[in-house]
Structure 1
Amino acid sequence: MSAAPVENPRVLFVGGLGRSGSTLLELLLAQSPDVCAVGEVVHLWERALGADERCGCGEQFTACPFWRQVGEHAFGGWSTVDRDEVLALKDRVDRTRHIPRLARSSLSAAQLADVRKYADLYTRIYRAALAVSGARVVVDSSKHASLAFALRWADGLDLRVLHLVRDSRAVAYSWGKQVRRPEVVDGEDFMPTFSPMEVSKLWTAQNAAFHLLATRAQVLRLRYEDFTADPAGVLRRLRLFAGLPDDPAALRLLGAPGDGSGSARPSAHGDPAPPPAVPIRAHSVAGNPLRFSGGPLTVRRDEAWRTRLPRRSRAVVSLATLPFRVRYGYLGQQRSSDSVETS
């Protein structure tokens, strides 16, 4: 489905550190036709255009009809995009070390030109995604704070940022596991792994950056643990934040209110209902392997890190991330991490 071009595309940018549940939120939001989820667009230049990796729909990027149309709408075809030039521009703009500069109230003429040229690439993609899909909001789960800071300088972009937080100890446990990347076409590749101290530094830096961004842009903070406790309520809140109506049909994949399951199988009234007739997928260019599962999805609480994260590692992460753990209400919690399963 196609719609008229959108002058000021609205994007819900999901920010935070990876392994915090952004793919799950994105997939559930994308089941409503007024939402178009595109995955982690920040990786499009290297993983999609460079390596021709698989889209969340299962097709390789160059073979995906959705992304081919997006490329035509945005740039007159992906072949017109100078990938090397984009990557060089990205290095000048979109790096964590540039955040202090991007947070300023003004930039030099040269810096402003670079930032707006870089942000315009994303604005074009968002606008094209809305035109091709007919949706009203694009969800970009790139997560990188530096990209969010760059997008705040964009001309003609309605930017709304979701700051997604998860217990640092659960995140450290997840980043220590070896996870295969099913989107890779040739050979076998795995997502990177990080030590507990590395995760602590990244978790603290990313969260601190989004606190700073909240003083300069529309930012809504959400704990992933709160999402699993009340998925329907959180999705309603996110739709409201994104400027979308409270539509019961948008929650059709969730379980009965208060059942805590988050299952895609029960109806909104708790009556048995068949699984969705279509796979739970989105045209995502990068993200957690969950996007290839096909669904239905089930959200459940998982405390595996409490027994499987080595005591020393847990102590390192707990101490290194203490200030923000206190701020987010994780100190002394008995149950504080979550995971996603597919059935």
Structure 2
Amino acid sequence: MANTAGNVIYILGTGHSGSTLLERILATDETTVSVGGVRYLDRYFAGESGVETDDAGHRATESPLWRQLAARPERYLASVPAVHTLSAAEKVRLFLGRPLQTAPNFHYQALYDDVRQRAKELELRAISTVIDSSKTVRSLSEIMSSVSDAVYVIHLTRDVRGVANSNHRRGLALLTATRYWLTDLIYARLFLWWHVPKQQRLALRYEEFVKDPACWLKQINQVCGLSVDPEHFLQAVDRFPSYRFAGNQMRARAISTLTLDEAWRRELPLWYRWLAAPLRFLRP
């Protein structure tokens, strides 16, 4: 497939912070194709539980976009199984502002080029931007060290109590969920500070985005070079076929309005709400 100069919009953050919602809205720009969490590509190709199908219910070998790529996994998979965590040495390098030097799990440039080209062939529209919601610092480090595309980063955060509550519903202990949220936040802020130019990154709070999406979409458009309609984006959600894989049930849910999920105010114990409240001041 032909190489094309392009862009990557990377959504950085932690799970259950609203990345699926944001990704669907950004994908209303006709120059974009969103692919979900690329860090799970090896699992999607293998048909593993939890990531066996894309949004349309297609396995990798059946998907209009992915089946050609899945036929040549060696072109895209550099490490099987993919490694998603940082080693102790890599964490030290992160705190010191040194490049992480993580071996890429995927051949990202070939992957992004072929995704753009295949989507262009399928949909007969000019596509220059891939939206990747892999969320982790490790994946972002791999991408920035191995692609020639321009990479723009949206650091999406949500109140720790909302994230912890969503994880707690799935059986994760509250304090464990809090620790994951905190370490993800610290690693992300450090990496952005050291390695991503200010003009190529944007800090976005889930709560503020839901309350005033038009304001934030204008800022995203300016930073990332998109043309998302800040006033009528809801009518355009899902205007294009989706090839996203991995993620939660939000991918298939109809969106008619944006509402703030504050179930944690009712569902979390009072002691935890009070204990975790000060952590919100750590967010950018």
TM-score by length of 1: 0.70
Q: Counterparts of 2:148 and 2:240 in 1: how far apart (Å)?
A: 31
Where does residue 113 of structure 2 map in the other structure?
A: 127
Residue in structure 1 matching 2:179, options 197, 201, 215: 201
Q: Counterparts of 1:126 and 1:36 in 2: how far apart (Å)?
A: 10
Cα deviation, 1:53-93, whole Å, max 9, x if unaligned, reads: 11012212210011124x17xxxx3354596x6125x43xx
Kindly state the Cα deviation for residue 241 of structure 1 after the two structures are TM-superposed: 1.6
Residue in structure 1 matching 2:160, options 155, 168, 175: 168
Report matched runs for 1:237-256 at 5 Å. Answer: 237-244=219-226, 246=227, 248=229, 252-254=232-234
The answer to which of 118-127 and 57-66 deviates more is 118-127
Confirm or deny: 8 A CA contact 1:45 1:87 kept in the other structure.
yes
Confirm or deny: 8 A CA contact 2:2 2:117 kept in the other structure.
yes
Residue identity in the other structure for 1:328: R
Q: Counterparts of 1:209 and 1:177 in 2: how far apart (Å)?
A: 25
Superposed CA RMSD = 2.9
Partner SS for 2:259: strand
Residue identity in the other structure for 1:306: R
Residue identity in the other structure for 2:110: R
Cα deviation, 1:80-121, whole Å, max 9, x if unaligned, reads: 4596x6125x43xx42333443676766xxx95x63xx2661
Where does residue 143 of structure 2 map in the other structure?
A: 151
Cα deviation, 1:126-177, whole Å, max 9, x if unaligned, reads: 1112222231211111111111122221141321111101000111111111
Residue in structure 2 matching 1:14, options 4, 11, 14: 11
* Structure 1 residues 16 and 240: alpha-carbon distance in aligned structure 2, compared to 1, 3 A threshold: same
Name the % identity.
27
Partner SS for 1:62: coil
Where does residue 302 of structure 1 map in the other structure?
A: 261
Where does residue 210 of structure 2 map in the other structure?
A: 228
Confirm or deny: 8 A CA contact 2:116 2:128 kept in the other structure.
yes
Cα deviation, 1:311-339, whole Å, max 9, x if unaligned, reads: 23324433xxx3x412438xxxxxxxxxx
Residue in structure 2 matching 1:288, options 237, 248, 265: 248
Kindly state the Cα deviation for residue 50 of structure 1 after the two structures are TM-superposed: 4.2
Question: Given the alignment of the two structures, is residue 26 of structure 1 paired with residue 23 of structure 2, yes or no?
Answer: yes
Q: Counterparts of 2:91 and 2:141 in 1: how far apart (Å)?
A: 7
Residue identity in the other structure for 1:18: G
Where does residue 62 of structure 1 map in the other structure?
A: 61
Partner SS for 1:20: coil
Residue identity in the other structure for 2:184: Q
Give the unaligned 5+ runs of structure 1. 179-192, 255-263, 265-275, 330-343
Partner SS for 1:233: helix
Give the number of equivalent residue pairs. 270
* Structure 1 residues 44 and 247: alpha-carbon distance in aligned structure 2, compared to 1, 3 A threshold: closer
Residue identity in the other structure for 1:123: Q
TM-score by length of 2: 0.83
